[in-house]
C-alpha cells in the first residue's frame, strides 16, 4: 500500500516541503532510511542522519531549518514524535481492516454479533456470547459461554477467553493471552493432599486496556478479577484470582501478582516485579524492575529491591552492599589487632 507525501500531510495536518507526489510504502529508522520509506526526526542527536538518509519522506518539526541540501521530502508538523505515532496508528488501522466471517468457525446459535465484524478461521464462539461492533477476532481464538466483548476490540490469534469474562470497548488482546482460567486455589487435607477450591467468579476487563502476548489473568474465586480502564499490560504477566488493578497503571513483562492484591491508579511497575497476596498498593506508585513486594505500599512511593525498600534508601544502602567485603576485611583486621594487644 502506497501513500503520497500530500496524503500523509493531510492525515497529520502538516505541510509538505519538497515533492508532494513522492510515494512511500514502508517505514524506517532515519539512520536506515531507504528509497520508498517514511521516517521521522524528533531527537536532536539524530539530526546528522537527515542529510544522509535515503528515506523518501521525513517528518520534522515545523521549526526545523536544514543546514545542508536534503534528498528527502519533508513533512513539517507541530510534534514529529506524536505525528509519527498517529501515522503508525493509522497504518495499523488500515492493515487490520478485515471484515467477514471466515470458514470454518463454530458460532453458537445463541451468540450475538455486532456490525462490521471480522472473525478468522478456526474460531470458537460459545453460547450466549455477545460481541459488539467493529470487533476483529483473528484465527484460532476460543471464546467461552456468556462472554461479553465491547466495541472496537481486537483479539489476536490463539487467545483464549474463558466463560463469563467481560471485555470493554477499545481493548487489544494479544496472541496466547488466557483470560479467566481458574485461580490457583487449593486447600490441604489431613493427609497433606491438596483439594481444589472451585473458582466461580470471572474476569472483568474495562475500556482501553491492552494485554500483551502470553499474559494470563485468572478468574476470581468469588466475585471478579478486575482490570480497570486504561491499564497497559506487557507480555508474560501473571495476574491471580481476585486481583484488582487501578486505572492507567502500566506493568512490564514477567511480573506476577498473587491473589487478592489491589494495585492503585497510575502506577508504573517494572519487569519481573513480584507481589505477595492480599496487599494494598497505593496510587502513583513506582516500582523498579525485579523488586519483591511483601507489604502494603502507600500512595506516591518509589521502591526497589527484594524485599523492596524506598528507592532513595535502597541506593544509599547499595553503596554499602558493594563495599561489604572491604568492610568485613577491615573488621577482621581490627579484631586481629585488638586480639594481639
Question: 163 and 307 in one domain?
Answer: yes
Do the domain assignments include residue 210?
A: yes
Do the domain assignments include residue 147?
A: no
Question: 76 and 182 in one domain?
Answer: no
Of the candidates 63, 95, 127, which is a domain's last residue? 95
Q: Give the model's confidence band at 324: pLDDT under 50 very low, under 70 low, under 90 confident, else very high.
A: confident
Whether residue 278 lies in the annotated active site? no
Tell how far CA 290 is from the center of its chain: 18
Question: 80 and 193 in one domain?
Answer: no
Q: H/E/C letters for each residue in the chain?
A: CCEEHHHHHHHHCCEEECCCCCEECEECCHHHCCCCEEEECCCHHHHHHHHCCCCCEEEEECCCCCCCCCCCEEEEECCHHHHHHHHHHHHHHHHCCCCEECCCCEECCCCEECCCCEECCCCEECCCCEECCCCEECCCCEECCCCEECCCCEECCCCEECCCCEECCCCEECCCCEEEECCCCEEECCCCCEEECCCCCEEEECCCCEECCCCEEECCCCCEEEECCCCEECCCCEECCCCEECCCCEECCCCEECCCCEECCCCEECCCCEECCCCEECCCCEECCCCEECCCECCCCEEEECCEEEHHHHHHHHHHHHHHHHHHHHHHHHHHHHHHC
Contacts of 58 (CB under 8 A, 6+ apart): 30, 33, 38, 39, 40, 41, 50, 72, 73, 74, 75
Q: Give the model's confidence band at 174: pLDDT under 50 very low, under 70 low, under 90 confident, else very high.
A: very high
Cα 219–160–244 angle (5° rounding)?
Answer: 30
CATH code of residue 90: 3.40.1390.10
Residue-wise burial string across 199-238, b where 16 or more C-beta atoms lie within 10 A, e elsewhere: bebbbbbbbbbbbbbbbbbbbbbeebbbbbbbbebbbbbb
Percent of the chain with pLDDT over 90: 83
Question: 295 and 174 in one domain?
Answer: yes
Residue bearing the bigger pLDDT, 308 or 169: 169
Q: Which three cell numbers stand for residue 268?
A: 508504573
> Does 314 have pLDDT greater than 80?
no
Do the domain assignments include residue 149?
A: no
Do the domain assignments include residue 144?
A: no
Question: 166 and 87 in one domain?
Answer: no
**Domain total for the chain?**
2
Question: 199 and 61 in one domain?
Answer: no
User: 86: number of CA atoms within 13 Å, CB side?
Assistant: 15
Mean pLDDT of 3-26: 94
Question: 163 and 84 in one domain?
Answer: no
Strands 23-24, 26-27: parallel, antiparallel or unpaired by DSSP? unpaired
Of the candidates 71, 95, 119, which is a domain's last residue? 95
pLDDT of residue 247: 98
Q: How far is Cα 162 from Cα 198, in angstroms, rounded to an integer?
A: 15
Question: 260 and 172 in one domain?
Answer: yes
Specify whether the CB–CB gap between 309 and 317 falls below 8 A: yes
CATH code of residue 172: 2.160.10.10
Of the candidates 74, 95, 116, which is a domain's last residue? 95
Instruction: Please write the tens of the pLDDT for every residue from 30-49.
Output: 999 999 999 999 999 999 99
Question: 169 and 52 in one domain?
Answer: no
Question: 83 and 163 in one domain?
Answer: no
Do the domain assignments include residue 46?
A: yes
Residue written as grid cell 474460531 = 123
Do the domain assignments include residue 132?
A: no
Instruction: Please write the tens of the pLDDT for every residue from 79-132.
Output: 999 998 888 888 887 778 888 999 999 999 999 999 999 999 999 999 999 999
Mean pLDDT of 145-168: 98
| Domain of residue 254, residue span | 159-311
Given the residues 174, 241, 278, 320, select the one marked as catalytic: 241
Do the domain assignments include residue 175?
A: yes
Q: Give the model's confidence band at 340: pLDDT under 50 very low, under 70 low, under 90 confident, else very high.
A: low
Question: 200 and 307 in one domain?
Answer: yes
Question: 281 and 183 in one domain?
Answer: yes
pLDDT of residue 339: 67
Do the domain assignments include residue 113?
A: no
Strands 186-188, 194-196: parallel, antiparallel or unpaired by DSSP? antiparallel
Amino acid at each position: 500500500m502506497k501513500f503520497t507525501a500530500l496524503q500523509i500531510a493531510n492525515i497529520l495536518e502538516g505541510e509538505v516541503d519538497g515533492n508532494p507526489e513522492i510515494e512511500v510504502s514502508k517505514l524506517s529508522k532515519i539512520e536506515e532510511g531507504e528509497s520508498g520509506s517514511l521516517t521521522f526526526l524528533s531527537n536532536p542527536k539524530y539530526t546528522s542522519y537527515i542529510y544522509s538518509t535515503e528515506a523518501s519522506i521525513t517528518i520534522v518539526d515545523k521549526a526545523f531549518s536544514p543546514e545542508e541540501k536534503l534528498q528527502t521530502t519533508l513533512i513539517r508538523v507541530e510534534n514529529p514524535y506524536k505525528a509519527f505515532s498517529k501515522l503508525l496508528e493509522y497504518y495499523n488501522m488500515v492493515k487490520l481492516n478485515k471484515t467477514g466471517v471466515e470458514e470454518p468457525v463454530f458460532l453458537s446459535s445463541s451468540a450475538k454479533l455486532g456490525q462490521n465484524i471480522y472473525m478468522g478461521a478456526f474460531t470458537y464462539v460459545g453460547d450466549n456470547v455477545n460481541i459488539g461492533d467493529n470487533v476483529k477476532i483473528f484465527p484460532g481464538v476460543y471464546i467461552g459461554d456468556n462472554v461479553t466483548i465491547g466495541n472496537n476490540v481486537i483479539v489476536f490469534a490463539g487467545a483464549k477467553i474463558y466463560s463469563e469474562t467481560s471485555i470493554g470497548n477499545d481493548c487489544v488482546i494479544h496472541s496466547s493471552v488466557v483470560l479467566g482460567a481458574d485461580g490457583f486455589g487449593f486447600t490441604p487435607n489431613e493427609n497433606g493432599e491438596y483439594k481444589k477450591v472451585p473458582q466461580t467468579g470471572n474476569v472483568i476487563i474495562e475500556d482501553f486496556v491492552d494485554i500483551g502476548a502470553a499474559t494470563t489473568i485468572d478468574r476470581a474465586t468469588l466475585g471478579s478479577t478486575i482490570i480497570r480502564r486504561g491499564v497497559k499490560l506487557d507480555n508474560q504477566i501473571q495476574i491471580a484470582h481476585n486481583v484488582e488493578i487501578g486505572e492507567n497503571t502500566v506493568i512490564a513483562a514477567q511480573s506476577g501478582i498473587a491473589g487478592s492484591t489491589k494495585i492503585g491508579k497510575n502506577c508504573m511497575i517494572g519487569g519481573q516485579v513480584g507481589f505477595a497476596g492480599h496487599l494494598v498498593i497505593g496510587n502513583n506508585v513506582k516500582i523498579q524492575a525485579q523488586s519483591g513486594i511483601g507489604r502494603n505500599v502507600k500512595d506516591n512511593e518509589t521502591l526497589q529491591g527484594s524485599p523492596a525498600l524506598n528507592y532513595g534508601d535502597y541506593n544509599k544502602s547499595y553503596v554499602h552492599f558493594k563495599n561489604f567485603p572491604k568492610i568485613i576485611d577491615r573488621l577482621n583486621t581490627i579484631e586481629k589487632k585488638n586480639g594481639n594487644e
